Amino acid sequence: MKWFPDYNYILASKSPRRQELLESLGITFQVKIKSVEEKYPDHLKGEAIPEYLAKLKSFPFLNELSDRDLLITADTVVFLEDELLGKPGDLAEAAFMLHKLGGKEHQVISGVCLTSSVKQIVFHAVTNVLFKKLREEEIQYYLSAFQPLDKAGAYGIQEWIGNIGITHIEGSFYNVMGLPVQKLYEEILTF
């Protein structure tokens, strides 16, 4: 039985986590990458930022989509007490972020944009995550054994740091990985 509408699905993301999550839905898709400068207007706050960036990532594809194409673009950000924590620039910044996240609840917000040649919708999902107070040696081990620089907030929930550090989660686990697959599934069905 085929669950999904009959589109040529395109995922515009080099993230192996997003690719893995979309694959887990049983969707056949191709990956296409186009470079976009991920800047947003200063007045945007909260969920408006990843929604804006997800839509921005669709722009280079707009003139190329056929009637049967459905483009999926996404962006994930971390907010701690209204401060945006993006991808760290280096290991020192990653360590600083992990220290800040320790012992506090933060929000992970993913914006997703679905684009066809005739329609575009943007939506988001929010997950609340609580880390324990992380020990310096735990942070240093994570930084040396994993790759935190390509992740918003400097961590992957599915990695060692998530296993030993996260004490509570409210919302979609997969959203924290970078793609709210349950919500994406529902949005594709009604697209």
Express each pLDDT in 105-134 by its tens digit.
999 999 999 999 999 999 999 999 999 999
High-pLDDT (> 70) share of the chain, %: 98
Element (H, E) at 56: helix 48-56
Neighbours of 189 (CB within 10 A): 10
> According to the CATH classification, is domain 8-190 in 3.90.950.10?
yes
What's the rounded Cα separation, in Å, for the pair 53 and 73?
Answer: 9
What's the rounded Cα separation, in Å, for the pair 14 and 103?
Answer: 31
Spans of all domains in the chain: 8-190
pLDDT for 2 equals 62
Annotated active-site positions, please?
A: 75
Q: What is the DSSP letter of 76?
A: E
187 within 8 A of 121, measured Cβ to Cβ: yes
Average pLDDT over residues 130-140: 96
Average pLDDT over residues 3-11: 89
Token pair of 168 as six digits: 């509570």
Token pair of 109 as six digits: 């917000």
